[in-house]
Structure 1
Amino acid sequence: MTAAPEEQPAAHPAQRRTLTVLSIAQALGGLSNGVALGVGSLLVAQVTGREELAGLAATLLTLGGAALAVPLAKLAQRRGRRVSLTTGALLALAGAVTLAVGGALDAPWLVLPGFFVLGGAMAVNLQSRFAATDLSTPQRRGRDLALVVWMTTIGVIVGPNLIGPGDALGVSLGLPSLVGAYVISAAAMAVTAAVLWSSLRPDPLLESRMGVPVEAEAPRLRLAAHPRALAAVLAVAAAHATMVGVMALTPVHLDHAGQALGVIGFTMSAHTAGMYALSPVFGWLTDRVGARATVLAGAGILLLSVLANLLLPVALAPVGLALLGLGWSASTVAGSTLVAAAVEPRLRPALQGRSDLVMGLSGAAAGAAAGPLLGLAGYGGLNLAMLPVIATVAVAAVLATRSARADSVTGATAPTTD
């Protein structure tokens, strides 16, 4: 006699609605970030009068997203995803309004903190991918997470194309040049907050706890006691650091090499497309062939990106940057899936917040270090410096997917390893 096939758990009836709401919010959040970052460096240079400070826009936005990750995760732990994500969207709205006011007043003391608070949009986008897994079955966790990540594509493509109309709108309202973009950004975050508050019902995190005994206080997360979780966090952070480190200085490298602005823009578009366009494919691979294999494939693609940047002529820079985005996508989708399943459910929001914090800080550190590396060793040296970081992605993936029997934590969910 042959054993009957194992019955797959049914999808939660609220999961389709949850994914729809999160996807809409993700697209709007991506649009807000796309508009804000598109003119961020120009706005900082305009209000400060110092071009060398232009990079602070992206740096402060990233740091703001990282700093807000843990408080929003704690809020989710206590009150659920609906309250947490809506709070993040409202903070981002406040940041966009602050930027509009600061730009109108030509006040750097308002503009710079505005970018930090606008990081709430980035924190919401990161937390939304984990919210997509709250009601997932283990067999669909990677695909559900990847779908929400993929929806960012809409925002990052549409957002920069609204810079011109936003500027025209701002000028028609009597605002200075560049400020109108933040009116668009604020409107996008206002709609995001309204959609999340009104439609993210039932709350996916609270719904996932139905039937689970309620404790007076959630246990404290100690990463040292969860080695697989720590490794999963490290894999995601190392992949992100590799991507940011190379991407941040590629436009400068291309400019120094005499490439036209059109080539630079196309190169960055190819990179963005690589980051998001194929994320559903990597989610499917995570569910079908395993998270370990998918993260290792991502590390391999990151390695190919470094080789392309070293060996191909500068005119083919879009190839290397597209590969950089693809490697980041595979590693981040599969690595985030590991994070989502690395500990018992009541510890997941805390772990997810820590992961987003470490991811953001790693990206900010890599971006800050890339400039001196480019100056000392050139673009080739910058790419070579990423090899040990890529190796960290691969090693961490193996450690994060080792047998659950090797983990001292009881009750932790073993991620897919096959």
Structure 2
Amino acid sequence: MNQYSDESKAIESHPAWLQSYIDSPEKQRQLYKRTLIIVVISQIFGGAGLAAGITVGALLAQDMLGSDSFAGVPAFLLTLGSAGAALIVGRLSQRFGRRTGLAAGFMTGGFGAIGVILAALTHNVFLLFFSLLIYGAGSASNLQARYAGSDLATSSQRATAISIALVSTTFGAVAGPNLVGVMGRFAGSIGVPALAGPFILGAAAFLLAGLVLAAFLRPDPLEVAKVIRAVKRTDEEHVFVENSNNVKIQNRGIVVGAAIMILTQMVMVAIMTMTPVQMKHHGHGLNEVGLVIGIHIGAMYLPSLVTGILVDKMGRTAMAIASGATLLAAGVLAASAPSDSMMLLVIALALLGLGWNFGLISGTALIVDATHPSTRAKTQGTVDVFIALSGASGGALSGIVVAQSSYTTLSLAGGFLSLLLIPVVIWSKRSKNYRQS
């Protein structure tokens, strides 16, 4: 490994202004708080951009193609674009810092939204699909921004920092869909198809998120964290010696954190995707479907602040087990709920969102704990690729399972699949000397 040589270069080449952060824990705390504020502002814009576009993507494709056959393509392209962008944003962040990587991702998503508007104006389906793929970069940046707030956090603050970013996403995610009608009317007033209206909001929101990060995320938290960690490691070089066992422990943390997030994402997306279909088949209207999904999305994000504190206080593994148990309860309840029982479906989907929330925050904290600043962003980007792909797989497989069997089978399968989190966590505990980095 060349980690130590990279750290030596970082120590030798860091600019003079960084020394003040190295020497002052108080300045580090101030930068940590300032970084969180900037991330929160960008996440509010990012959440609005993401939700506004996703709300009408399928409807726009349906309208332009005159068929339901390709209505699912936008969601697939957004997911595919998000997966590819996660990898690129992670590597850009590692090479040039969080500011560059996240700002580039959000701005790319904004240009994708502009492409969707042009596609609607010219009725160009190929431009629409390509633009939706690019639009996915905004989604990837919105998810990866949760890591930026944790770069300068201590091990007892990391989950809380992650949760603050997720909570702030909620404000934009709730506002975006509620502005669909307003943006549709605005689009019509300037000669743009009404269904492209939300993408006007999406373009503005993603571009603003990128500009906020580019202008104000200074000094870059990841760059500061790299140098501080390099200096700290040099000071402790006589005490701590990196060996194969340390590497195995770190790799174990990465694998466990990734496994938790991948499993929870797959289970959540699979059950969530087919719940509206199940409800419509049993006579529930769009308002009822909207209520259930709205409560589900609220449960995904709103508990984050409390979840972050619990993850920091009770431990990552305890909350990962709680995630598995909560998802199991959600699956069993969704499977057993009578088709006409709105209350039970609401509770089941709320538990589904809450279980996902537990898994995402505990898994993210494990990834941050197990990675070094010199490789952290690149590793996080790679993990987010697999999270995006697991969500896409869950959504695709859910339709097949329901078509071949039933919603009950899907819900039970998802619930019991989440129990795999428990042996994963037990395996992680085999290492008694696990260290939080």
State the TM-score, normalizing by the size of structure 1: 0.90
Which amino acid in structure 2 is aligned with residue 397 of structure 1?
V
Counterpart code for 2:115: T
C-alpha contact 1:232 1:396 (8 A) present in aligned 2: no
Find the aligned partners of 2:74 and 2:195 in 1 and give their Cα distance: 14
- Among residues 11, 32, 43, which one is paired with 2:60 in the alignment? 43
Q: Which residue of 2 aligns with 1:414?
A: 436
Q: Which amino acid aligns with 1:162?
A: L
Distance 1:402 1:202, change over 3 A: farther
Residue in 2 that maps onto 1:125: 142
Quote the residue 2:207 is aligned against: 190
Distance in 1, Cα, partners of 2:111 & 2:423: 41
Residue in structure 2 matched with residue 55 of structure 1 by the alignment: 72
Aligned-residue offset at 1:384: 1.9
What root-mean-square deviation, in Å, do the aligned CA atoms of Structure 1 and Structure 2 show? 1.9
Matches of 1:190 and 1:17, distance apart in 2: 21
Read off the aligned partner of 1:325 and give its amino acid letter.
Answer: G
Consecutive unaligned residues in structure 2, runs of 5 or more: 1-24, 232-246
* 1:382 is the counterpart of 2:407: no
Q: d(CA) in 2 for partners of 1:28 and 1:402? A: 42
Name 1:107's counterpart in structure 2.
124
1:65 to 82, 106, 119: 82
2:176 pairs with 1:159: yes
Query: Secondary structure at the residue paired with 2:30?
Result: coil
Contact 2:78–2:132 under 8 Å retained in 1: yes
In 1, the alpha carbon distance for the partners of 2:354 and 2:195 equals: 32
CA shift, 1:70, in A, is: 1.1
1:224 CA displacement: 11
Q: Secondary structure at the match of 1:174?
A: coil
1:319 corresponding residue in structure 2: 347
The answer as to 2:115 corresponding to 1:93 is no
Q: Is the 8 A contact 2:332 2:415 kept in 1?
A: no
> 2:358 aligned with 1:330, yes or no?
yes
Unaligned runs of 5+ in 1: 1-8, 215-221, 407-412
Identity over aligned pairs, percent: 31
Q: Is this contact kept in 2: 1:88–1:124, CA < 8 A?
A: yes
> 1:14-56 CA deviation, whole Å, 9 max, x = no partner?
0111001101111111101111011111001111222121112
Q: Contact 1:239/1:389 (CA < 8 Å) preserved in 2?
A: no
Residues 1:14 and 2:44 are matched in the alignment = no
1:372 matched to 2:400? The reply is yes
Q: Which moved more, 1:122-131 or 1:387-396?
A: 387-396
Would you say 1:238 and 2:226 are equivalent positions?
no
With the length of structure 2 as denominator, give the TM-score of the two structures.
Answer: 0.87
Partner of 2:283: 258
Cα contact 1:303–1:387 (8 A) shared by 2: yes
2:91 aligned to 74, 78, 81, which one? 74
Change (3 A) 1:337 1:381: same
Aligned to 1:14, the other structure's residue is in SS state helix
Q: Is the 8 A contact 1:235 1:394 kept in 2?
A: no
C-alpha deviation, 1:177, in angstroms: 2.2
The structure in which a higher percent of residues are helix is 2
